[in-house]
Structure 1
Amino acid sequence: MPTFDSILVTGNQTIQQDLQVNGNQTIMGALNVVGNETVSGDMQINGNQSIVNSLATGGDVDAGGNVLATGRLSASNQPALPAGVAAIQQVRHYTLPVPNQPGLVLKGTDGLDYVVFIDVSSGTPSLAIHLA
């Protein structure tokens, strides 16, 4: 396999198999990887990047702007109950789930997934929840 100290691509780059970067990666335009992409250092994207399947990270994902999910944003770890007594607040609980309901998917202390969203049907914003 050829080894290069640096590669400059002034247009688009398409990789038909895997891309492995052992240092840092900066993308100024478009990068299309058909296989897998592994970055051992930092990855900085100054343009756009589309991920068709999954993005897995062993650390944090920091966004300088908004994180837009057209589906669901999920947290898979099971939470623990905080210490202290819960304050009484109005939260609307719907017993019947809505398939593909947009919202934040969180795992409950019972191990089940719940969808949390804002309900303004009464005119006053309320936190709402139902089983996913």
Structure 2
Amino acid sequence: MPTFDNVLVTGNQLIQQDLHVNGNETVQVNLNVNGSQTIQGDLQINGNQSIVNSLATGADVDAGGSLWSNYRVGVSNQPVLPAGGFSLQQIRFFATGAASQAGLMLKGTDGLDYVLFIDVSSGTPSLAIQPA
């Protein structure tokens, strides 16, 4: 297998098998990998990256824009109850939504998109839902 200190690709790069990076990887435009991609350091993408199957991370995924999934965005750790008591809260539904509302967008059984967010306008945090 050839070994290079630096590789500069000025056009497209298509990898039919696996890509292993032991340091950091910076992609200025698009990266398409048909096999596996293993990165030991950091991955920074300034363009787009499409993942057909799954993305597994041992830490956080920070997205400066939107993070989309055709199925689920999940958490594998089990939540724990915080110390102290709790108070009963209601879920608030806002029939008209604010444009570009920040929150978790989920598709409803009616096929429409809804945004979940935390409303603290009453002084007590409540789960809120609005149409996207």
Aligned to 1:5: 5
Aligned to 1:46: 46
User: 2-side partners of 1:86 and 1:57: how far apart?
Assistant: 32
- Structure 1, 7-16 or 70-79: larger mean CA deviation: 70-79
Deviation of residue 42 (structure 1)?
A: 0.7
Listed as ranges, the matches of 1:108-119 within 5 Å are 118=116
Aligned to 1:82: 82
Deviation of residue 127 (structure 1)?
A: 4.4
Q: What does the per-residue CA deviation read over 1:78-109, in whole Å, with 9 as the maximum and x for residues that have no partner?
A: 111111111121138xxxxxxxxx36xxxxxx
Match for 2:43: what amino acid?
M
User: 1-side partners of 2:45 and 2:66: how far apart?
Assistant: 15
Q: TM (normalized to structure 2)?
A: 0.66
| Count, aligned residues | 102
Match for 1:52: what amino acid?
V
Please, which runs of 5 or more residues in structure 1 have no aligned partner? 93-101, 104-116, 119-124
| Superposed CA RMSD | 2.6
Match for 1:66: what amino acid?
S
Please, which runs of 5 or more residues in structure 2 have no aligned partner? 93-105, 108-114, 117-125
What percent of counterpart residues are identical? 61
Aligned to 1:34: 34
User: 1-side partners of 2:24 and 2:48: how far apart?
Assistant: 17
Deviation of residue 33 (structure 1)?
A: 0.8
Match for 2:21: what amino acid?
V
Deviation of residue 72 (structure 1)?
A: 2.2
User: 1-side partners of 2:63 and 2:69: how far apart?
Assistant: 13
User: 2-side partners of 1:17 and 1:70: how far apart?
Assistant: 24
User: 1-side partners of 2:16 and 2:86: how far apart?
Assistant: 53
Deviation of residue 76 (structure 1)?
A: 2.0
Match for 2:5: what amino acid?
D
Q: Secondary structure at the match of 2:73?
A: strand
Q: TM (normalized to structure 1)?
A: 0.66
